[in-house]
Amino acid sequence: MAGISIIVCCYNSENRIHQTLQSIFELDIPKQVLVQLIIVNNNSTDNTLRICRRICSNQTRRDIETTIVTEEVPGLRSARMRGINESIHDVYLFCDDDNHLDRQYLTNTFDILKRDSQIGIIGGWCRPKFKSYPGKWIEECYVSFATEPKPKSNGYKEWVFGAGMIVKKEVIDTIESRNIKLSITDRVGEKYSSGGDAEMCILARFVGYKIYYSDQLMLDHAIDNNRLSRIKTLKINTRNVDWWIDLYCMEQCMEDKYRMTKKIYLEYFKKNIRIFIVHFSRSILKRKFYSTLTAYKSFQILIWLIFNFNEFKRKHSFHKLNLYKNGE
């Protein structure tokens, strides 16, 4: 029989976890598929743990095996790895504590996995769900909240969102067998960051697996109102410079491990100058918030590059050694 472990990582989730778990307990489960739900309490200081226990004890389904554990090391990556270690199945579904899964999520997942044995990661359509409409500015910035108002075309991609991401166990096992280390911590507590999903996709492609996107995998991403302001969005993006650099170095090492550090540094510097000029002009002339956000991002990267060439060299060297330490 096939099996899947749904890993839900929680940090102070008392106001949002109920609907997430309810959507899981309402899933249609394909025949010959075993389902395990793993709830990882990641250092919550509110009533998350008590609420999760109550919801699980009150649900009547017996075809979903439920486990609740606590991970004391803060951070989404640590919580997900704890969930992986608790898993008894060969497929993982990373469901964030604000994701509401479509009823057919598991059925469509296994239909896709049957198509191509080299598919290692699947992502789907993360639809935005707001309590109140934040304003027209949000329409340009959905991707900043890991959402899409309309689905992309189905097919093989370079990366997919981490929300609702399906990962085969063999992908993680292959990465670990080659002693490749994950380097991006992802979100820690109230510090919103990201990049872990992109890193996982890069490494999966590096070890020989395909990434697939399907609009049949649907979930609603419920975004708290306290995150929905332009100022908050700009602040969140101030915390991501390090992982932008890491992801760039990873991609460059994967494409060509022999390229000189100075060359890729200069290419990245010139690229961000062009992006800054284009989007800064648009933000002034057309008053587009997305252009303001993009120009701000490029400006941060440029400042970082100007003052951190030695750190860039260190990062590039680290990722080259991390990927190719065994001579692959």
* Averaged pLDDT, groups of 10, the chain, 328 residues long: 95 96 97 96 95 95 95 90 97 97 98 96 96 88 90 96 97 96 70 77 97 98 88 76 93 94 98 97 91 93 96 96 78
Q: What is the pLDDT of residue 74?
A: 87
Identity at 178, one-letter amino acid code: R
Q: What angle do CA 20, 114, 118 make, to 5 degrees?
A: 100
Q: What is the pLDDT of residue 7?
A: 98
pTM of the model: 0.93
Domain ranges of the chain: 2-228, 240-324
CATH class given for the domain over 2-228:
alpha beta
Q: What is the pLDDT of residue 232?
A: 83
Q: Which residues contact 165 (CB under 8 A, 6 or more apart)?
A: 93, 94, 121, 122, 123, 197, 200
Q: What is the pLDDT of residue 60?
A: 87
CA distance 317 to 300: 22
CA distance 164 to 219: 7
Q: What is the pLDDT of residue 209?
A: 98
Ranges of H-type helices in the chain: 17-25, 48-58, 76-86, 105-113, 169-177, 196-206, 230-237, 241-255, 261-285, 289-307, 309-324
DSSP structure string for 108-145: HHHHHHTT-TTEEEEEEEEEEEESS---GGGGG-GGGG
Q: What is each CA distance from 52 to 79, 83, 88, in whole angstroms?
A: 16, 15, 21
Tokens of 173: 């096992």
